[in-house]
Structure 1
Amino acid sequence: MKKSLLALTALAAISTASAAENCRVVNMGFNPAQDSAAVLTNGNAIAKYLETKIRGVQIKTTVAQDYQALVEATRSGKLDFAWLSPVSYVQAHDQAKAVVLLKSVRNGGPYYWSAFVVRKDSGIKTLNDLRGKTIAWIDPNSAAGYTFPRATLVAKGINPDTFFSKQTFAGKHDAAVLSLANGSVDVIATFSNNTQGTSGSWTQYLPADKAAQLVPVVYSKPIPGDTLSVRADYQSGCADVTARIRSAIVGMKSDPAATGLLKKLYTIDAMIPAQDSDYNVVRQAIAASAKK
């Protein structure tokens, strides 16, 4: 009996050590919403910061090829944590049991908008003026670059697939802004940080003089902030590391050593606690955007 008990105790110790080792190496994936090289550089800076706050943990970073690849990597277990857009989070929650931990705050609020943006000299002033124009969306899984602007059109009785003369996907917000600025398309759907036309992808990715030549003409409903989410089975098996990573990222806003890291990553001011119900509006937009 004693030998069996000792064997079970030893086995439990080995299992615990194995679990601790599995928790020690953390795989974190980033959303390729803009230049992937810049995202990786800034993601690595955040990883190094987290490693200084959580001793013994190694953070391995990667930037997904596209939005769907980030969801798939979470579903397949290749990633433990992922910086997911609102639509990608909903998909990862439904397909991969991802759990939202935090959401982004910009300009004082945990939400942002989608905007249809045009060149000032285009003569486009209203939503109806967009009819028959060429548009660049971002990605089918982008909230601001596809789902919410399409839902905005559908809510007004417009079929997005017949409203525009041509539709393309830019893949990233910075690429979309450039395609609009150089005249490749008439309009883009992209993110805006407010509804005053003073802060958005065009002001972020273009010099001030060129950004001044672009203007939003229509805004969507508010979109809840993009997320830091965790794979559910990682969270259950590595609860302590999950909690410490979550706490460290929340604390970045008041830590001088972390000043600017989130801003450089995705122009985020802070990350705050989130829950799945915050993204029900995204589920509604997904359903609406699929209508014709």
Structure 2
Amino acid sequence: MNYKHLTVFLVILLTAAIIILGAYGFHESSKANIADLRPVLRIGAVPVESVAKTRDQFDKLITYLEKKTNWKVELFVSHDYNGIINEMAKGNLDIAWFGPFSYVLAHDRAMARAFAVEDNIRTGTVYHSVIIVHPESPISSVEQLIGRRLAFTDRSSTSGHLIPKAILRQHGVDVEKDMSEVIFTNTHDSAILAVKKRTVDASAVSDAVLFSLREKGIIGEKDYRIIYTSANIPGSVWAYREGINPTLLEKIKHSFLNVAKEDKEALGIYGQDLVKGFVPADDRDYDIIRETAKQLELVAIPR
């Protein structure tokens, strides 16, 4: 083969390679575009820990829901419950994970309707608000919190604000007048760690989150002491936005109510072996939360 023939051969070979690679790239791009044409199910959640950690924890649940619904699932993580409520009210979220109080607010402001409640291994479909202090703290009762630094979690949190505020009032403590400082940490883990580090004198948090952090080794029994435990609180719920595609809704309900037997790893968002599944939710179970919110004049939370 002379030089001229070699040049022609290389040009033909290169052209063929470009055509083949281009066709392959088009094929892969087409597949991606086809996948992107799936309808989108938008879900919302508030981080128990960091936003990045929450996204990682939701990966398996998202994969499970995509498989069961054949819809593409997109996760929106807000720094607080108010952000989730507002996005659902705008029609930007289809389902979301709420605490009891934030669910009541979302029910009124965003047409949220509960469909699945957590079934916790320790406490079933209820949980508790606990007020914790450092083990070396002299505080041993709610009344002794007067003049101290107190941490709540989120203004729309049940166990981290609504219930403990009611408890304080029942014990003659006015949060607005009697505390030296009141802060909102946004997350339960931050409030728990604030007690451990002694940046506050006491924190009001969910016992479920407290147990979760202990299971993960983030805190130990020597890092806190419980001075008060509330009565039973109805559990956190998954709720849909009224008006959602009815066929999709049935698939979503089936997915959540059967996740424990169909894909237990999808429950990893709750921590290792803390939630054993879901049971159907009943909106009437949250009437006690509505009553408490009215008594504390907390029905309207700033938007």
TM-score range, shorter chain: 0.7 to 0.9
2:233 is matched with 223
2:76 is matched with 62
Residue 53 (structure 1) aligned to one of 57, 68, 73: 68
Flag the 1:259–1:66 CA change in 2: closer, same or farther, 3 A.
closer
Contact 1:100/1:276 (8 A) holds in 2: yes
1:25 is matched with 40
Contact 2:146/2:173 (8 A) holds in 1: no
1:6 is matched with none
Contact 1:42/1:261 (8 A) holds in 2: yes
1:207 is matched with 218
Give the Cα–Cα distance (whole angstroms) in 2 for the partners of residues 262 and 272 of structure 1.
Answer: 17
Residue 280 (structure 2) aligned to one of 239, 264, 273: 273
2:243 is matched with 233
1:262 Cα offset (Å):
4.5
The answer on 1:242 being equivalent to 2:249 is yes
Contact 2:40/2:71 (8 A) holds in 1: yes
Contact 2:212/2:271 (8 A) holds in 1: no
Give the Cα–Cα distance (whole angstroms) in 2 for the partners of residues 117 and 281 of structure 1.
Answer: 24
1:44 Cα offset (Å):
2.5
Contact 2:212/2:274 (8 A) holds in 1: no
Contact 1:87/1:282 (8 A) holds in 2: yes
Is 79-88 or 210-219 further displaced after alignment? Answer: 210-219
1:17 is matched with none
SS at match of 1:62: strand
Deviations 1:202-256 (CA, angstroms, capped at 9, x unpaired): 5256535x4423011012221111110000011xxx1111111111111111235
Flag the 1:249–1:265 CA change in 2: closer, same or farther, 3 A.
farther
SS at match of 1:26: strand
Deviations 1:152-184 (CA, angstroms, capped at 9, x unpaired): 122233322223211011111111112111111
Give the Cα–Cα distance (whole angstroms) in 2 for the partners of residues 206 and 145 of structure 1.
Answer: 21
The residue identity in structure 1 corresponding to 2:275 is I
The residue identity in structure 2 corresponding to 1:189 is A
Give the Cα–Cα distance (whole angstroms) in 2 for the partners of residues 31 and 170 of structure 1.
Answer: 13
Contact 2:154/2:186 (8 A) holds in 1: yes
Contact 2:60/2:266 (8 A) holds in 1: no
The two structures have a TM-score, normalised by structure 2, of 0.80
Q: Note the residue ranges of structure 2 that are not aligned, 5 or more in a row.
A: 1-35, 299-303
Contact 2:46/2:77 (8 A) holds in 1: yes
1:182 is matched with 197
The two structures have a TM-score, normalised by structure 1, of 0.82
Contact 1:42/1:265 (8 A) holds in 2: no
1:290 Cα offset (Å):
3.3
Flag the 1:97–1:23 CA change in 2: closer, same or farther, 3 A.
farther
User: Among the aligned pairs, what percent are the same residue?
Assistant: 24
SS at match of 1:28: strand
CA RMSD after TM alignment: 2.4
1:130 is matched with 145
The answer on 1:99 being equivalent to 2:119 is no
1:108 Cα offset (Å):
4.5
Q: Note the residue ranges of structure 1 that are not aligned, 5 or more in a row.
A: 1-20
1:261 is matched with 268
The residue identity in structure 2 corresponding to 1:136 is A
The answer on 1:143 being equivalent to 2:193 is no
The answer on 1:163 being equivalent to 2:178 is yes
Give the Cα–Cα distance (whole angstroms) in 1 for the partners of residues 273 and 83 of structure 2.
Answer: 19
Give the Cα–Cα distance (whole angstroms) in 2 for the partners of residues 143 and 37 of structure 1.
Answer: 24
SS at match of 1:200: helix
Deviations 1:130-151 (CA, angstroms, capped at 9, x unpaired): 2211011101101011000001
2:7 is matched with none
Give the Cα–Cα distance (whole angstroms) in 2 for the partners of residues 175 and 58 of structure 1.
Answer: 32
Contact 1:43/1:265 (8 A) holds in 2: no
1:86 is matched with 100
The answer on 1:114 being equivalent to 2:129 is yes
SS at match of 1:180: helix
Which structure 1 residue ranges, 4+ long, deviate > 6 Å from structure 2? none
The answer on 1:44 being equivalent to 2:44 is no
